[in-house]
């Protein structure tokens, strides 16, 4: 079989068909828009939202994925007649399901005794065949892992979600998008979607590389589906790629969106976009109730999610907030050297500032102070995906001294250096 096309391990049929064998797709191996970015206010989508937020995450895409998983389970058990009945019902409900038609063809081949390998003899182009088998792989793997990970643990990136009603976390490797609700400061999983990413994978570096970026972003507008070509489905939620860190690393490109699928298909292959992260139209309309440009919904695009227990997440939150508190305390102490020690001397503010010049100005300002009082409200704090020991924090800073007072929203990037000391890379 060609590289990138899924191979299947043999399983035995039930005793009544013991002489036959079925190759079952479970243990699998997978070897710029150019659109005017017209922004409009996000309309009321309640009429399109078939599900309330109380529905369990596994039910977010109605019966599409559960039906596929059930078909695969029947195949694993050698129950071809049941598998055929289920896939026929699935196709009737979702006539644009390419996965459904693909599975049905192989089931019929197996029932006729002519089945040798998944997609064998298929008239589909090699690229499309590889995409369908890859989609089966990621859906099945998620089904196998969901109880161990997503529904018992939390992404380690969700250190502090502040007042955000919802946060989106993507696992680009596994092709899943998770929606977490803010339950009195505790992230709670409310949705879980199959997702497609860039046709070249993830880790975007340059414009046109067809990769989905890795990083921390936020939704900054909504574009109605009627204003978009059919490729983008029922609508789009652009995010703020490239962010400050991307620009520092000279990453280029633009137009990274969460959007829907073309009208000709229900779901796209896992690696198929130009860099966007893509849901089925049903899932996009469902997700719209959790996503808001006005609320700047955070979007964490992770190369892979590291899952941790809630107690571990609380411990990480305590550690990171202690780092911030030490910086604040040193600032308030008027010990300027201690305060300045929290900042990197190499490429401060992502290379936009000279540490020595900036430090000289800070020392001059502090000479006129008899006291400094700082109050911080952390709006969100996320560990940064794709980087070791780095986090980004957004906060509201209330500053009071003997000769100045003010309130400002700010952002910091922190990274632990080779000596194990946390330093501020950027503040602004």
Alpha helices of 238-373 — where are they, by DSSP H?
244-248, 281-287, 310-332, 336-340, 348-351, 355-367
The dotted CATH code for 309-427 is 3.10.450.50
Alpha helices of 146-303 — where are they, by DSSP H?
244-248, 281-287
Coil, strand or helix at 199: coil
pTM, whole model, 2 decimals?
A: 0.84
Note if the bond before 242 is cis, omega within 30 degrees.
yes
Coil, strand or helix at 9: strand
User: Do the strands 186-194 and 197-198 form a parallel or antiparallel pair, or are they unpaired?
Assistant: unpaired
Dihedral-angle region of residue 319 (phi above 0 means left; psi in -120 to 50 means alpha; beta otherwise): alpha
Task: Show Cβ contacts of residue 125 under 8 Å, excluding neighbours closer than 6 positions.
Answer: none
In the sheet that 158-160 helps form, which strands lie side by side, from edge to edge?
Answer: 158-160, 372-383, 390-401, 405-416, 422-427
Neighbours of 209 (CB within 10 A): 18
Residue ranges per structural domain of the chain: 9-31+41-307, 309-427
Q: Give how far Cα 87 sits from Cα of 69, 80, 112, 187, 193, Å.
A: 10, 10, 17, 36, 21
Q: Distance between CA 22 and CA 82 in Å, rounded?
A: 14
Q: What is the pLDDT of residue 106?
A: 87
Neighbours of 144 (CB within 10 A): 11
Q: What is the pLDDT of residue 40?
A: 35
Q: Kindly report, residue by residue over 398-408, the tens digit of the pLDDT.
A: 999 999 999 99
pLDDT tens, per residue, the chain with 428 residues: 333 332 333 333 223 222 222 333 333 322 234 333 333 334 333 333 333 333 334 444 568 998 999 998 888 888 999 999 999 999 999 999 999 999 998 889 888 886 666 777 778 888 888 899 899 888 888 888 765 665 779 999 999 999 999 999 999 999 999 999 999 999 999 999 999 999 999 999 999 999 999 999 999 999 999 999 999 999 999 999 999 999 999 999 999 999 999 999 999 999 999 999 999 999 999 999 999 999 999 999 999 999 999 999 999 999 999 999 999 999 999 999 999 999 999 999 999 989 999 999 999 999 999 999 999 999 999 999 999 999 999 999 999 999 999 999 999 999 999 999 999 999 99
State the DSSP string of 162-174: TT-SEEEEEETTT
Q: What is the pLDDT of residue 384?
A: 98
The dotted CATH code for 9-31+41-307 is 2.40.440.10
Rounded to the nearest 10 degrees, how much is the dihedral formed by the CA atoms of 95, 101, 102, 104?
A: 140
């Amino acid at each position: 079989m060609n590289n990138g096309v899924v191979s299947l391990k043999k399983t035995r049929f039930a005793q009544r068909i013991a002489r036959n064998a079925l190759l079952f797709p479970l243990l699998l191996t997978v070897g710029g828009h150019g659109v005017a970015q017209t922004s409009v206010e996000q309309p009321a989508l309640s009429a399109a939202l078939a599900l309330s937020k109380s529905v369990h995450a596994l039910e977010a895409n109605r019966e599409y994925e559960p039906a596929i998983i059930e078909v695969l389970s029947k195949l694993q058990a050698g129950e071809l007649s049941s598998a055929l009945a289920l896939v026929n019902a699935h196709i009737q409900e979702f006539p644009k399901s390419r996965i459904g038609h693909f599975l049905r063809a192989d089931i019929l081949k197996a029932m006729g005794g002519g089945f040798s390998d998944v997609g064998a003899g298929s008239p589909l182009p090699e690229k499309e065949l590889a995409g369908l088998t890859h989609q089966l792989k990621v859906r099945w793997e998620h089904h196998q892992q969901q109880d161990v990970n997503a529904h018992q643990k939390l992404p380690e990136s969700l250190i502090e979600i502040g007042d955000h009603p919802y946060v989106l976390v993507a696992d680009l490797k596994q092709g899943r998008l998770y929606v977490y609700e803010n339950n009195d400061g505790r992230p709670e999983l409310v949705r879980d979607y199959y997702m497609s990413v860039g046709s070249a994978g993830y880790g975007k570096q340059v414009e046109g590389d067809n990769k989905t970026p890795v990083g921390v972003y936020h939704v900054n507008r909504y574009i109605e589906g009627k204003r978009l070509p059919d490729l983008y489905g029922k609508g789009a939620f652009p995010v703020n790629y490239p962010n400050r860190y991307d620009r520092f690393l000279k990453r280029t490109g633009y137009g990274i969106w969460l959007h829907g699928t073309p009208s000709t298909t229900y779901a796209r292959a896992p690696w198929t976009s130009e860099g966007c992260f893509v849901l089925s139209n049903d899932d996009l309309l469902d997700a719209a109730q959790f996503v808001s440009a006005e609320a700047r919904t955070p979007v964490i695009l992770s190369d892979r999610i590291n899952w941790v227990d809630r107690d571990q997440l609380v411990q990480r939150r305590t550690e990171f907030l202690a780092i911030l508190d030490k910086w604040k305390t040193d600032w308030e102490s008027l010990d300027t050297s201690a305060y300045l020690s929290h900042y990197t001397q190499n490429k401060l503010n992502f290379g936009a500032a000279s540490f020595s010049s900036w430090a000289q100005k800070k020392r001059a300002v502090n000479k006129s102070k008899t006291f400094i009082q700082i109050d911080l409200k952390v709006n969100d704090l996320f560990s940064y995906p794709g980087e070791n020991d780095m986090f980004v924090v957004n906060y509201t800073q209330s500053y009071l001294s003997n000769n100045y007072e003010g309130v400002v929203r700010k952002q910091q990037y922190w990274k632990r250096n080779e000596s194990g000391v946390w330093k501020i890379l950027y503040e602004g």
